[in-house]
C-alpha cells in the first residue's frame, strides 16, 4: 500500500525530513496539500495567499520532475486527510510539524483519528533548527530571553541537511479522490481585481529553486558586510529569504550549514556570519515563544498592557496604512510594504513604533495589517516582533524607547535613496530636508515641486508632542515601568 506526504509550509524537496522518510519506505508516495476550509487556523492574508499560489505551483513541478505529483484538496483538513488515508488504503502518513496552538490541536486530532484506524502518522522537525522543547534552561524551562537562548543553541550540534530524494515513486490516485482534487488556478489564491499583485510579481519568485538562487546570491555577494548593511534599507543588504523560509522553500538547517561552510573557507566572514545566523536563531526563538505562549498573536504577553488606553482613530490608522503620515521614512516603509509585500527590518521597527507609540494604536491593528500585506507574514515572527516593538512581549524593547522618525531616517537612509524610491513626490527635495520636509524653506519646497498638505501630507502628529503623550500614557499605567 502507498504512503502519504501531507505538505504544509514545507514546500521543498531538499532537506525535507517527512518527504525523505516517506521516499525511504520504498512504497509509492502520494503527495498532497489541503487548502483553506473551516479549520480554526488563522486564514492567510492576501499577500501570503499570492505567495502560496506560486509556491504550490513550483512544488508541484518539482515533484513531477522527481516522479511524483501534488494533489490539492480543499479543507477542512481533518476530514480530508482522513478520507485521503482511507480511500488510498495508505499504510502511513508523513508530515513536518507546525508550532501554533490551532495547528498543533489539528495535527493531534488527525493523528489520533488515523492511528485509531491503523494508519501510522510520522511527524518531523522540518521547520526549525531545534524543537522548542529541546532548548531549555538548566531548570528544564523555556527561555524568556534571547541571549541565553542563543548561547545554548550555539553549544548544540546540528545534523546535516538531507539531500532531495533522487526519485520519488509516485502512485496513482483512486478516481474517487481525483475527482475531488482542485486545480491550482481554481483555488482562488491569486487576487483578481484590483491587481495589486502586479508589484508582488515584479518583486518576487516563489519556490524552492528561486529560494536556492537567492540564497546562493546572498552567500557570494551579500553575506560580506551583512552586519553593517542590514540596517540600510536602500541597499539589498539582507538575504530577503523571509517568504521562502515562511513557506519552507528553504530550511534554516540548509542555511546554517552553508553559512558555516562559507566561513570555514573565508574566516574573515565570521562576524557577518555570526550576525546573520543569530537572525536565523531569532526565528527559532519566536517559534519557541509561540509554542509555549500560544496567545502571542492575540494578547499582550504582559498583562500590564491589558489596561492600556489605546486610541481607536480610523483616520490616523488609514494614513499609516497608506503611507500618508507626513513622516517620509514611515511613509516609504508602508508603501514598500503595499507595493512589494515586504518591508526592510529597520523600517518595520520604525513604522511599528510609530503606530504604537506616536499614534497610540493597539499593536494588534498593526499586526493584522502586516499579516494581510506581507508575503512573509508569519504567525510567530510577526506577533513576536510586534509585541517586541510595543514593549508588551517577552524580552521586548522597553516602552519608553520611542523612535524619532526623523533621526532614524537620517541615520539609516542618509542619502534619502530609500525615501526617494518609495515616496517619489519628495524626490526633488535636497537630502538635508528629506526626512523633515516641513523645515524646508518655501523656496526649496517650491523648487522641488512640493506643496505640503497637497502633494505630500503635513505630519499627522508632531513628534515631540506625540512622544510626550506616549510617555505620559505609559506612566499613568501603574507597574509598567
Any idea which residues carry the catalytic annotation?
279, 282, 310, 345, 363, 386
Phi, then psi, of 69 in degrees rounded to 5:
-155, 175
Contact between 348 and ligand FAD per CB under 6 A: yes
d(CA 296, CA 289) in angstroms, rounded, equals 8
Q: Is 300 annotated as a binding residue?
A: no
Q: Is 327 annotated as a binding residue?
A: no
Contact between 254 and ligand FAD per CB under 6 A: no
> Is residue 395 left, alpha or beta, with left meaning phi > 0 and alpha meaning psi from -120 to 50?
left
Name the residue nearer to ligand FAD (CB basis): 105 or 236. Answer: 236
Distance of CA 335 to the CA centre of its chain: 18
DSSP three-state, residue 7: coil
Name the residue nearer to ligand FAD (CB basis): 256 or 433. Answer: 256
Question: Count of residues for the chain?
Answer: 481
Q: Is 378 annotated as a binding residue?
A: yes
CB of 374 to ligand FAD, least distance (A): 5
Among 196, 282, 310, 438, the residue binding ligand FAD under the rule CB under 6 A is 282
Q: Is 241 annotated as a binding residue?
A: yes
Q: Kindly report the number of other CB atoms within 10 A of residue 299's CB atom.
A: 16
CB of 278 to ligand FAD, least distance (A): 9
Contact between 345 and ligand FAD per CB under 6 A: yes
Q: Is 439 annotated as a binding residue?
A: no
Name the residue nearer to ligand FAD (CB basis): 101 or 109. Answer: 101
Place of cell 558555516: 260
Preceding amide of 6 cis, omega within 30: no
Interacting span for ligand FAD (CB under 6 A) from 203-211, 237-245, 427-435, 473-481 = 237-245
**Of 290, 306, 208, nearest in space to 251 by CA:** 208
Name the residue nearer to ligand FAD (CB basis): 47 or 440. Answer: 47
Contact between 238 and ligand FAD per CB under 6 A: yes
Instruction: Write the binding mask 355 to 394 for ligand FAD: x where contact by CB under 6 A, - elsewhere.
Output: ---------------x---x-xxx--xx--xx--x-----
Contacts 24+ apart (CB under 8 A), 432-437: 434/328, 434/409, 435/327, 435/328, 435/329, 435/405, 435/406, 435/409, 435/410, 436/328, 436/406, 437/328
Interacting span for ligand FAD (CB under 6 A) from 15-23, 62-70, 235-243, 266-274 = 235-243
Q: Which residues sit in the known binding site for FAD?
A: 226, 238-242, 276, 376-378
By CB under 6 A, name the binding residues for ligand FAD: 230, 238-242, 245-246, 279-280, 282-283, 286, 345, 348-349, 352, 370, 374, 376-378, 381-382, 385-386, 389
Amino acid at each position: 500500500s502507498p504512503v502519504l506526504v501531507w505538505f504544509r509550509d514545507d514546500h521543498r524537496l531538499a532537506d525535507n525530513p517527512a518527504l525523505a522518510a516517506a521516499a525511504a519506505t520504498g512504497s509509492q508516495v502520494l503527495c498532497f496539500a489541503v487548502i483553506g476550509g473551516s479549520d480554526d487556523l488563522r486564514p492567510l492574508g492576501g499577500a501570503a495567499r499570492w505567495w502560496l499560489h506560486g509556491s504550490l505551483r513550483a512544488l508541484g513541478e518539482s515533484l513531477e520532475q522527481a516522479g511524483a505529483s501534488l494533489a490539492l484538496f480543499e479543507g477542512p483538513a481533518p476530514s480530508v486527510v482522513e478520507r485521503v488515508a482511507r480511500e488510498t488504503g495508505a499504510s502511513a502518513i508523513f508530515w513536518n510539524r507546525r508550532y501554533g496552538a490551532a495547528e498543533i490541536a489539528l495535527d493531534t486530532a488527525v493523528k489520533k483519528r488515523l492511528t485509531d484506524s491503523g494508519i501510522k502518522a510520522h511527524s518531523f522537525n522540518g521547520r526549525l533548527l531545534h524543537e522548542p522543547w529541546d532548548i531549555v534552561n538548566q531548570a528544564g524551562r523555556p527561555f524568556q530571553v534571547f541571549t541565553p537562548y542563543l548561547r545554548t543553541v550555539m553549544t548544540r550540534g546540528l545534523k546535516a541537511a538531507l539531500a532531495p530524494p533522487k526519485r520519488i515513486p509516485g502512485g496513482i490516485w483512486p478516481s474517487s479522490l481525483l475527482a475531488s482534487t482542485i486545480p491550482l488556478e481554481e483555488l482562488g489564491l491569486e487576487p483578481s481585481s484590483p491587481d495589486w499583485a502586479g508589484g508582488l510579481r515584479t518583486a518576487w519568485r516563489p519556490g524552492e529553486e528561486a529560494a536556492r538562487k537567492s540564497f546562493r546570491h546572498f552567500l557570494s555577494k551579500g553575506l560580506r558586510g551583512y552586519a553593517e548593511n542590514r540596517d540600510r534599507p536602500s541597499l539589498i543588504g539582507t538575504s530577503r529569504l523571509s517568504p521562502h523560509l515562511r513557506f519552507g522553500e528553504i530550511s534554516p538547517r540548509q542555511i546554517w550549514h552553508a553559512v558555516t561552510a562559507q566561513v570555514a573557507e573565508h574566516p574573515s566572514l565570521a562576524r557577518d556570519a555570526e550576525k546573520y545566523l543569530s537572525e536565523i536563531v531569532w526565528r527559532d526563538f519566536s517559534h519557541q515563544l509561540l509554542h509555549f505562549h500560544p496567545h502571542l498573536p492575540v494578547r499582550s504577553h504582559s498583562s500590564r498592557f491589558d489596561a492600556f488606553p489605546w486610541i481607536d482613530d480610523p483616520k490616523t490608522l488609514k494614513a499609516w496604512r497608506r503611507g500618508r503620515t507626513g513622516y517620509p521614512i514611515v511613509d516609504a516603509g508602508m508603501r514598500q510594504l503595499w507595493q512589494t509585500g515586504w518591508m526592510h527590518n529597520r523600517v518595520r521597527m520604525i513604522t511599528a513604533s510609530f503606530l504604537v507609540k506616536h499614534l497610540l494604536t493597539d499593536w494588534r491593528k498593526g499586526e493584522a495589517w502586516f499579516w494581510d500585506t506581507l508575503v512573509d507574514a508569519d504567525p510567530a515572527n510577526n506577533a513576536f516582533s510586534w509585541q517586541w516593538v510595543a514593549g508588551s512581549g517577552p524580552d521586548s524593547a522597553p516602552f519608553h524607547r520611542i523612535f524619532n522618525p526623523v533621526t532614524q531616517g537620517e541615520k539609516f537612509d542618509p542619502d534619502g535613496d530609500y525615501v526617494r524610491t518609495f515616496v517619489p513626490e519628495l524626490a526633488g527635495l535636497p537630502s538635508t530636508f528629506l526626512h523633515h520636509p516641513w523645515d524646508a524653506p518655501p523656496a526649496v519646497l517650491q523648487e522641488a515641486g512640493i506643496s505640503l498638505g497637497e502633494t505630500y501630507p503635513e505630519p499627522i502628529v508632531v513628534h515631540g508632542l506625540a512622544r510626550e503623550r506616549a510617555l505620559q500614557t505609559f506612566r499613568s499605567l501603574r507597574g509598567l515601568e
